[in-house]
Amino acid sequence: MSRHVPRLLAIGSARIGSILLALVLAITVLGPALAPLSPLDFIGTPFQAPNAHAWLGTDVLGRDVLSRLLLGGYRILGLSALATVLGVLAGALLGMTAGYAKGAADEIIMRLLDVVLAFPQIILALLFVSIIGPELWLIVLIVAGFHAPQVARVARAATLRVAEEDYIRFAETIGMSRLKILIQEIFPNILTPLIVEAGLRFTYSIALIAGLNFLGLGTQPPTADWGLMINENRIGLATNPWPVVIPVLLIALLTIGTNLLADALGRVAFGRVEAGSDEAGRAARNRGPALPRADSAGVAEVQA
Amino acid sequence: MTAIEALRNTAGQVTAAGLGLPVVTVEKLRVVLAGGDAAVVEDVSLDIRPREILGLVGESGSGKTTLGLAMLGYSRRGLAFGAGSVRIDGTDILAQSDAAKRDSRRRLVSYVPQDPATALNPTLRLRTQLSECFPNPAEATEARLLQMLAEVKLPADGAFLQRFPHQLSGGQQQRIAIAMAFAHRPRLIVMDEPTTGLDVTTQAHVLDTVRQLCREHDVAVVYVSHDLAVVDSLADRVAVLYAGHIVEIGPVRRVLQQPEHPYTRALIRAVPDLEGRAVIQGISGQAPDPRHRPAGCAFAPRCDLATEDCRRDTIAAHEIGKGHFVQCLFAGTPDKAAATALDRPAQTGTSSAVPVLRVDGLNASHGDRQILWDISLQVPSHCCLALVGESGSGKTTLARCIAGLHRNLTGSLSLEGVPLPVGSRNRTRELRQRIQYIFQNPYASLNPRRTIGRSLEVALLEFERPQRQQRRGRIIAALESVALPARFADLYPHEMSGGQRQRAAIARALIVEPTLLVCDEVTSALDVSVQAVVVDVLRKLQEERGLAMLFVTHNLALVRNIAQRVAVLQAGRIVEEGDVAAVLGQPQSAETRRLMQDAPHFDLGNPPTQQANEAGGVDPSVAMRASVG
């Protein structure tokens, strides 16, 4: 992967993506240390406009918006990352098994995953949360569960290609165990498409978790959280728009940044872009396999 | 002396095949890597006359395809024209605008690619495919299309025109590509290894068609190839490329029989000969990368004769015979290496009574289709058995049955008397260790994410658990046995050349100390000079370690250099088996005779023999040589 970095940064959209991602990451990581006030203290009347004491005004319960913003990011990022990693690992294992085993095992695994895919995500999440309750681990598992089938498809397609290679035949002739072939021989060789897919999945995780939080199914009040803030403060939009506008903006920047970066990574990894030329970027766009582009529709949907 | 003069005269007259003024003139052509000054093709000048076939030979990376494409005014991605001109019928195609270039390509030049299967659009019927060759659709009449089919000796009927490309054999597809190239009566056709993917019999027929069409339609043909034997049997003149330079150019017989450039000589010594008089010899070292080419002669670092003068300035081409130019200061000086007579012992060591491998009544199928019928053969210890046959004869399937990769079979297999279960997973660890398989394509048989040392270690650890220190020693020893220095243990496959990768794959098989090596077309993806090195490594290993070896190949000429025994496979049955000298000396079966006849002969030093071909005609170039001789 490291050999892709210079070529990656030669692409304009990758540079923009990394700047956006770095900006939001800086806010979430440094935020807790920089927050001027406690996110839970009531410091004044609700929906105060920005002033010297509260730079971005107060929220629905009269808490400091700036402090809540600075503290409300790391949880969503952490949960999204965790859900993405779990989903990608599970999907990769299922996809590799299906792609390498072929035949009946392939059919069974992939058709079961199709069933999971057939359910609308938010509805299914609603169902589980209403049965078990709004637990964070449950949110992570649900989001990971949504990703697994999609990742499995990508992993299976890549595995089908790699499994035809002679180094897999060699491993079979020396009697290497099937699990070892999956992990040692196939996995490193499908890593590139998997990483690209993981980037796109991360985008979806953020949107989905923010959406669940907005609906009140994830993080519970009074915890500071961007998704939750949007919901809580909708009613004060006319008086103090910042507790709604800024979380929306941050979530949008985060998803756009990740998406641009993942998309560029895919082009570099599959399109053989030469470093240092803008033309290379254009060339890559015109050739290479069509990659799934995370569209902003998903984001808009849950934020509406 | 008189003999040489006579040859020169002959050569001069052979060139007269190309009549009239040159139709293609390349002058001081230079093709560079885009955004840099590294030249892929450097200072190339040549002329081609109508009806002349110019062979462009060289190994991978020599710039032969780049030069061929440049004559179409085309450069591949990442390359650019640096200097020079390519004139076709007087127009400089390199100086033209893109639109004018496209027009030139419609009228003046055409191209036959290497792989016809990917060159033909799979969704178009032949009728549409062929019609597209005409700039003016009105010209594509039914009669004209049928004539195109007839020209390339395909069935000229409406039903054939209705077919899709996938309904044709490889040879038929290539004939369509050739028909398309000749359709608009171009002045120049560039063919990029068009017969590489075909078996020898089909190849012989396709070459014959090319020759005939070229004469009939007054077309100049540039035939790009790595195969000297094909060029010898087809071309009038040959240009030998090395590191982007034409190091030698001249009439084909003269250049191949009296090569004057040390590289041409080394290349010829690497080509296996069906008559098998000499051991094939590889060329040590590696061709330089375009970015790091030495000053002066690019071949100097690998050349016995090189002196300080060679390394100083660019070497100019000398004319040393009529139309025979050599870029070497020592043209005419014999070099030190001499041909070693081939002396392959009938057996390397005493063999025990029990054969290492015994196959009895083997039948194998792919799905419902039976591939192998009642195969019985034995590989004695200390013996290399070559398995020969054309593509589709089932030779790879047989090798895979033995290695346990093909499971759909009946019959019995045994290794030193121990029955071999079907499929590698059903075999004991010891049996798996004792049979090692080497794959055809070294670009696919090594895990690209691992260093060579690690790949060898993984193979070793499947069977043994030596100490870390001992492991390193075993890895280095295995690499040394295939003539790779220890530093290769830390390289990744993509950092190595094809030949080095194949040797690394052999080292990976050797590290577990097998008794039987199964080699599946292990040199078919390699250049001849590299093939010679790999065959040399295998031959030495077989002799020194007394390994039993099954060597699968389609190249009959290679058999003498490596094997003691040979089995000929035809349509899944063994039609002949015996000692190499006996089988190749007095072939008994029709299939062996046919394979020997169709293999392009490369018997230098002998007067050209007439090759019979199925079309019934005498090979025109041979006939022509005979008439002037």
Quick one: pLDDT band at residue B19, thresholds 50, 70, 90?
low
Q: Residue A252: give its domain's CATH number.
A: 1.10.3720.10
The band of A270, judged by pLDDT with boundaries at 50, 70 and 90, is low
Which residues from A are below 8 Å from B508, CB to CB?
170
Q: Taking CB atoms and an 8 Å limit, are B432 and A173 in contact across chains? A: yes
State residue A1's pLDDT score.
52
Place of tokens 């790391």: A74
Q: How confident is the model at residue A272 (pLDDT cuts 50, 70, 90)?
A: very low
**Most confident of the following: B73-82, B296-305, B544-553:** B544-553
B317: nearest Cα among B629, B557, B44: B44
- Between CA B588 and CA A134 the distance in angstroms is 83
CB contact under 8 A, B459 and A174: yes
- Shortest alpha-carbon distance between residue B493 and chain A (Å): 12
Q: Over the stretch A169-225, which tens digit does the pLDDT of each residue have?
A: 999 998 899 999 999 999 989 988 898 889 889 988 988 888 888 888 888 888 888
CB atoms B449 and A188 under 8 Å: yes
SS3 B518: strand
Residue A161: both structure tokens together: 């290609």
Cβ(A250)–Cβ(A226) under 8 Å? yes
Kindly report which listed range (A227-236, B198-207, B536-545, B601-610) carries the lowest average pLDDT score. B601-610
Q: Give the C-alpha distances (Å, rounded to integers) separating B44 from A290, B56, B174, B274, B552.
A: 40, 12, 29, 34, 40
* Structure confidence at residue B606 (pLDDT): 42
pLDDT reading at B335 higher than 80: no
CB A212 within 8 A of CB A204: no
Phi, psi of B322 (to 5 degrees): -65, 115
Distance CA B235, CA B55 (A): 5
Quote the pLDDT of residue B453. Answer: 94
User: In this model, does residue B1 exceed pLDDT 80?
Assistant: no
Residue located via tokens 């590698």: B424
Give the pLDDT confidence of B577-605 residue by residue, as tens digits: 999 888 988 999 999 998 888 776 665 54
* In the predicted structure, residue B550 carries a pLDDT above the cut 90: yes
Report how far residue B386's alpha carbon sits from residue B431's, in angstroms, rounded to the nearest whole number.
Answer: 22
Test B449 with A184 for CB contact under 8 angstroms: no
Give the pLDDT confidence score for residue B341 in this predicted structure.
Answer: 63
- Compute the CA torsion angle A208, A212, A213, A219 (nearest 10 deg): -110
Q: Flag if B462 and A173 touch (Cβ within 8 Å).
A: no
Residue A294 scores a pLDDT above 70: no
B35 touching A (Cβ < 8 Å): yes
Q: Quick one: pLDDT at residue B45? A: 92
Rounded to an integer, the average pLDDT of B160-174 is: 90
Closest by Cβ to A170, choosing from B35, B437, B448: B437
Candidates B432, B455, B508; nearest CB to A175: B432
Cis peptide before A222 (omega within 30 of 0): yes
CB-neighbour burial class of residue B589 (10 A; exposed 0-12, middle 13-18, buried 19+) = middle
Residue of A nearest to B427 (CA): A175
Give CA–CA dist B24/B565, Å, rounded: 49
User: Taking Cα atoms as reference points, which of B252, B270, B274 lies closest to residue B337?
Assistant: B270
B397 and A CB contact within 8 Å: no
Contact A175 B439 (CB under 8 A): no
Nearest-Cα distance to chain A for B440, in Å, is: 9
The minimal CB distance from B448 to the residues A169, A176, A189 is found for A189
> Does the structure show a pLDDT above 70 at B140?
yes
Residue B280 has pLDDT above 60, yes or no: yes
| Nearest CA distance, B404 vs chain A (angstrom) | 7
d(CA A13, CA B37): 30
> What pLDDT band is residue B338 in, cutting at 50, 70 and 90?
low
CA distance A111 to chain B (A): 25
Q: Distance between CA atoms of B346 and B581, rounded to whole angstroms? A: 9
**Domain count of the fold of chain A:** 1
Instruction: Out of B405, B435, B436, name the one closest to residue A172 (CB).
Output: B405
For chain A, first and last CA: distance in Å? 37
Chain A CB contacts of B458 below 8 Å:
176, 184
Nearest to A175 among B424, B444, B446 (CB): B424
Residue B325 has pLDDT above 70, yes or no: yes
pLDDT tens, position by position, B353-384? 688 999 999 999 988 889 999 999 999 988 99
Q: What is the mean pLDDT of residues B451-474?
A: 92
How far, in Å, CA of B233 to CA of A52, rounded? 92
List the single range of A85-89, B146-150, B199-203, B398-402 with lowest mean pLDDT. Answer: B199-203
- Spatial contact of B442 and B498, defined as CB atoms under 8 Å apart: yes
**Interaxial angle between packed helices A74-101 and A12-34, expressed in degrees from 0 to 180 and rounded to the nearest 10:** 130
CB B405 to CB A274 under 8 A? no
- At A80, the pLDDT band (50, 70, 90 cuts) reads very high
Q: State in Å, rounded, how far the first CA of chain B is from the last one.
A: 17
Q: What is the pLDDT of residues B422-448, one digit of tens each?
A: 988 899 999 999 999 999 988 899 998
Helix/strand/coil for B278 = strand
Bigger pLDDT: A295 or B47? B47
Q: Which of B202, B193, B181 is nearest to B228 (CA)?
A: B193
pLDDT at residue number B316: 83
Cβ contacts from A onto B, under 8 A: 60
DSSP labels, B425-469:
GGS-HHHHHHEEEE-S-TTTSS-TTS-HHHHHHHHHHTT----HH
Residue A302: pLDDT band (50, 70, 90) is very low
pLDDT of residue A286: 36
Instruction: Tally Cβ neighbours within 10 Å of residue A297.
Output: 8
Residue-averaged pLDDT of chain A: 82
- Region A284-302: mean pLDDT is 34
A148 C-beta neighbours (distance < 10 Å), count? 24
Q: What is the pLDDT of residues B38-55, one digit of tens each?
A: 888 988 999 999 999 999
**Residue of higher predicted confidence among B618 and A136:** A136
**Of B135 and A280, more confident:** B135
Asked if the model's pLDDT at residue B607 lies above 60, the reply is no
Instruction: Please report the pLDDT score of residue B449 as a whole number.
Output: 87
Q: What pLDDT sits at residue B319?
A: 86
Per DSSP, helices labelled H in B16-81 are: 64-70
Determine if residue B228 is left, alpha or beta; phi over 0 gives left, psi from -120 to 50 gives alpha, anything else beta: alpha
Equal fold, B1-108+188-333+604-629 vs B357-450+495-598: yes
Residue A10 is predicted with a pLDDT of: 80
Give the per-residue pLDDT at A287.
Answer: 34
Using an 8 Å CB-CB cutoff, list chain A residues near B429: 175
Rg for chain B, CA atoms, rounded: 26
Distances (CA, A) of B237 to B15, B166, B317, B432: 7, 35, 16, 51
> What pLDDT does B251 receive?
94
Inter-chain CB proximity B436 and A277 less than 8 Å:
no
Neighbour count for residue B124 (Cβ, 10 Å) = 14
pLDDT for position B603 = 58
Q: What pLDDT sits at residue B30?
A: 92
Residue B223 has pLDDT above 70, yes or no: yes
Confidence of residue B342 (pLDDT cuts 50, 70, 90): low
Count how many Cα atoms sit within 13 Å of the Cα of residue B307 in the half-sphere of its side chain. Answer: 5
DSSP bridge pairs for A42: A63
CA distance A58 to A56: 7
Q: Do B508 and A170 touch (CB under 8 A)?
A: yes
Average pLDDT over residues A31-52: 85
Alpha carbons B573 and B389: distance in angstroms, whole number: 10
Architecture of domain B1-108+188-333+604-629 in this structure? 3-Layer(aba) Sandwich (3.40)
CB contact under 8 A, B403 and A173: yes
Q: Is any Cβ of chain A less than 8 angstroms from the Cβ of B445? A: yes
Average pLDDT over residues B303-330: 84
Q: Is B462 on the interface with A (CB under 8 A)?
A: yes
Give me the residue label for tokens 């293999």: B599
- pLDDT for B619: 38
- DSSP per-residue codes, B206-223: HHHHHHHHHHHTT-EEEE
ipTM value, please give it: 0.73
CATH superfamily of B357-450+495-598: P-loop containing nucleotide triphosphate hydrolases (3.40.50.300)
* Pairwise CB contact (< 8 Å): A169 & B445: yes
**Partner residue opposite B444 with nearest CB, options A166, A184, A277:** A166
Confidence at residue A20, expressed as pLDDT on a 0 to 100 scale? 93
Name which of A1, A164, A166, A183 to mutate to probe chain B: the one with the most chain B Cβ atoms within 10 A of its Cβ.
A166
Give the number of other CB atoms < 10 A from CB of residue B231.
26
Chain B residues whose CB is inside 8 A of the A170 CB are 437, 439, 445, 459, 508
Cβ–Cβ contact B448 with A under 8 A: yes
Does residue B262 or residue B293 have the better pLDDT? B262
Interface of A with B (CB under 8 A): 165-167, 169-170, 172-176, 184-185, 188-189, 191, 274, 277, 283
Confidence of residue B246 (pLDDT cuts 50, 70, 90): very high
Percent of chain A with pLDDT over 90: 34
Residue tagged 């970066």 (tokens): A261
> What amino acid is encoded at B595 in this protein?
L
Element (H, E) at B28: strand B24-33
Q: Which residue in A has a C-alpha nearest to residue B77's C-alpha?
A: A283
Asked if B334 reaches chain A (Cβ–Cβ under 8 Å), the answer is: no
**Banded model confidence at residue B106, pLDDT cuts 50, 70, 90:** confident
DSSP state of A85: H
CA-wise closest residue to B482 among B443, B508, B463: B508
Q: Please report, for chain B, the start and end positions of each structural domain, with discontinuous segments joined by +.
A: 1-108+188-333+604-629, 114-185, 357-450+495-598
Residue A96: its pLDDT value, please? 95
Q: Given CB atoms, is B485 within the 8 Å cutoff of chain A? A: no
With pLDDT > 70 as the criterion, what percentage of chain B qualifies? 89
Strands B79-88 and B91-92, sheet pairing: antiparallel
Supply the mean pLDDT for chain B.
84
Which phi and psi (to 5°) does residue B565 adopt? -120, 155
Contact B517, B550 (CB under 8 A): yes
Nearest chain A CA: its distance from B521 CA (Å): 13
Q: What is the average per-residue pLDDT within A103-125?
A: 89
Domain span at residue A72 reads 2-303
Q: Lowest-confidence range among A280-284, B562-566, B568-572?
A: A280-284
Query: B347 falls in which pLDDT band (50, 70, 90)?
Result: low
